[in-house]
Chains A and B, each alone.
Chain A
Amino acid sequence: MKNEHSKAMIKTYLAVFGALAVLTALTVMVSTLHLPRVPAVALAVLIALVKASLITAFFMHMKSEGRLIAGIFLASLFFLLVLIIPVIIDIGF
């Protein structure tokens, strides 16, 4: 029983690994296309977000943790946005 479960887990891990590798290749490939600045940045950040979510959800088991831990992590991301948005409005442009 326990072994069955962990076999399934190992499959998931390897699938996630594959996805991460593909996404890495993808982001490098996209960067060679010389897209205009805004879509290029948006795409790169989007791919990074997907990769980071995969790692936190599966490798860090966020998916099976309760809401508390997800809340802690998301709260820090939220406050990061609170920091970056006004400052980028002020200095960034």
Chain B
Amino acid sequence: MSSLEATQNQTGIPNGKLGMWLFLASEVMLFGGLLSSYVILRTGSPNFGMPARELLGVPWATLNTFVLITSSVSMVLALSAMQDGRIPAFRNFMLLTITLGFVFLGIKSYEYWHKISEGITITSSLFGSFYFTLTGLHALHVIGGIVFNIYVLVQGLKGKIINPDHPDRLEYAGLYWHFVDVVWVFLFPLIYLI
């Protein structure tokens, strides 16, 4: 596979990176389609069923935003460390990223439990449906990102596929992880704040 890339590359951008960006473009359309539906029905539906602000759990969501931002910066620091050949730093930053991913999911599950105990379920109202659909799909992406990150961590420590000279896959995992962060950056204000 790498031999093909070496022989032919018209743009200088590695195939994997180009493919990852194209994939992210399609993910923009997927989340965009769902978020558009949310915005459209939020403004247009006669009974959207928006709960009171106190029930939304803004503090927890804010905390989760910080968790994701922090994991994003530790991801990019891990890449930086790998590029410089600082493997222990790479390992620590990756572990931090993965841990924060789990923390995000933990807070999210607490939030889910909290919402359900307050009577906001996927069938209770359109808001509930959108809340669980959007955050649920996002959480699935977080899980996918964590799996990708664990793979990258293991391979980075083995040093065969990912090493300071070939950090490509680490970079792709980073792209994906940051994208998941970007999606949350939009979900957070649209769901919790307005």
Contacts and interface: CB of A to CB of B under 8 A. Distances in A.
B189 A60 contact: no
A24 B69 contact: yes
Interface of B: 11-13, 17-18, 21-22, 24-26, 28-29, 32-33, 36, 39-41, 43-44, 58, 62, 65-66, 69-70, 72-73, 75-77, 80, 83-84, 174-175, 178-179, 181-182, 185-186, 188-190, 192-194
Interface of A: 2-3, 6, 9-10, 13-14, 16-17, 20-21, 24, 27-28, 30-31, 37, 40-41, 44-45, 47-48, 51-52, 55-56, 58-60, 65-66, 68-69, 72-73, 75-77, 79-80, 83-84, 87-88, 91-93
Q: Is chain A's binding surface mostly helix, strand, loop or mixed?
A: helix
Nearest to B181: A55
Q: Is chain B's binding surface mostly helix, strand, loop or mixed?
A: helix
Contact of B13 (A13, A45, A69, A87): A69
